[in-house]
């Protein structure tokens, strides 16, 4: 299958550079309602500085904005629970997120909770449909995100002058632009289910000892207590026995007098 036109332009632009490219597209035979395409273009430039050859590789940062309006179609599921590869997935329409640990699930859910009160008070019952209309000539895209290690997550309510309020919830590199109350409620409820499901999906983390206990263990490995002389131990045992013997005889005499 020939490369798309933009790849040909990229090749012409990068003439004289050393690069490699990988393009993966999914094209169904029927006219798709939604198209999910993964495109990756990696190129590098060779420079000679002071007789040394250096390779410079490009970097990309992709931030995704998802506009939510009306009741959202959501799905929450657990994958490989109780294993090291466990995950909880949440699908919000065409946006799919895989959460790889309980801390990330709590952080994402907490972002939705932090703006819940303001959303209930200020979000409109119905958003402007013009913000979610299909774009001619472009199939609806889909996005998939893997999240682990508690990435940044926050939310805030926007109240621009003369316009309807909307909520922005940022989870890592994906931002949900929530335009009405129905969209917020259904999506926030899905993330509440993510946190609830993560409690029984992920393996419990090993309990870390307290700092004092860790210091005592470390000291015990390097500093061994000196061993006591066996003859000294026998003398101490004989001395303690001689102190107990008189007390025992006195108790026996007291019992005889009582009789």
Check residue 132 and give its pLDDT. 78
Facing residues of 76 across strands?
90
Check residue 230 and give its pLDDT. 62
**Token pair in block for residue 40:** 């990756």
Q: Where are the alpha helices (DSSP H) in 39-115?
A: 102-114
Check residue 85 and give its pLDDT. 92
Q: Is 254 left (phi over 0), alpha (psi -120 to 50) or beta?
A: alpha
Distance of CA 211 to the CA centre of its chain: 26
**Average pLDDT, consecutive stretches of 10 residues, N- to C-terminus, the chain (259 residues):** 46 42 35 37 44 66 91 96 94 96 96 96 88 84 93 95 94 95 96 96 78 70 60 68 53 55
Check residue 222 and give its pLDDT. 65
pTM assigned to the model? 0.60
């Amino acid at each position: 299958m020939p490369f798309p036109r933009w790849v040909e332009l990229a090749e012409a632009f990068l003439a004289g550079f050393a690069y490699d490219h990988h393009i993966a597209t999914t094209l169904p035979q029927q006219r798709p309602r939604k198209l999910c395409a993964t495109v990756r273009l990696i190129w590098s430039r060779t420079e000679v500085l002071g007789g040394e050859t250096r390779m410079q590789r490009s970097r990309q940062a992709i931030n995704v904005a998802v506009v939510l309006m009306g009741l959202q179609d959501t799905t929450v599921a657990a994958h490989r629970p109780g294993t090291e590869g466990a995950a909880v997935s949440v699908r919000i329409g065409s946006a799919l997120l895989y959460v790889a640990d309980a801390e990330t699930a709590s952080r994402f859910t907490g972002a939705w909770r932090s703006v819940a009160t303001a959303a209930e008070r200020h979000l409109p019952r119905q958003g402007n449909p013009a913000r979610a209309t299909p774009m001619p000539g472009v199939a609806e895209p889909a996005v998939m995100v893997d999240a682990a290690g508690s990435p940044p997550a926050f939310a805030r309510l926007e109240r621009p002058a003369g316009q309807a309020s909307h909520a922005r919830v940022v989870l890592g590199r994906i931002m949900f632009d929530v335009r009405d109350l129905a969209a917020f409620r259904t999506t926030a409820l899905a993330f509440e289910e993510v946190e609830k499901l993560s409690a029984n999906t992920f393996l419990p983390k090993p309990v870390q000892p307290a700092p004092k206990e860790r210091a005592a263990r470390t000291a015990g490995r390097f500093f061994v207590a000196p061993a006591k002389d066996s003859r000294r131990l026998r003398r101490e045992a004989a001395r303690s026995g001689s102190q107990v013997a008189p007390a025992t005889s006195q108790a026996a005499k007291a019992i005889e007098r009582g009789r």
